[in-house]
Amino acid sequence: AQSVTQPDIHITVSEGASLELRCNYSYGATPYLFWYVQSPGQGLQLLLKYFSGDTLVQGIKGFEAEFKRSQSSFNLRKPSVHWSDAAEYFCALNNAGNMLTFGGGTRLMVKP
């Protein structure tokens, strides 16, 4: 069975510092992977996606993620965090037919 794990429930970083959010997955084939962001009271916005090819993918808002098959990971990074990045971040896996399996989420807080 497929699963997605986000080991960090909460992360706090200072504004301007770099950020890495961890995501590990379990799936028997090549996964389609996604990162979504959710601001309080809002729906989910797609940050980036990995289907195949280049393992480093660029997304919106200056985010990037790297797919590492050997580690079953798809970590999200940003070189310099802005206060507006404070939100909940979800990693997700598409196993078949556009059905997403989500991780439990990581809540990012940004210190001024």
Q: Report the interface residues with another protein, using CB under 8 A.
A: 4, 32, 34, 36, 41-46, 49, 51, 90, 92, 94, 96-105
The closest alpha carbon to 19, from 31, 32, 8, 28, belongs to: 8
Q: Structure tokens of 27?
A: 């799936």
**Closest CB 23 distance from another protein, rounded Å:** 11
**Closest CB 108 distance from another protein, rounded Å:** 14
Q: Structure tokens of 30?
A: 């090549």
| Dist CA 101 CA 104 (whole Å) | 10
Nearer to another protein, 74 or 90 (CB): 90
Nearer to another protein, 51 or 83 (CB): 51
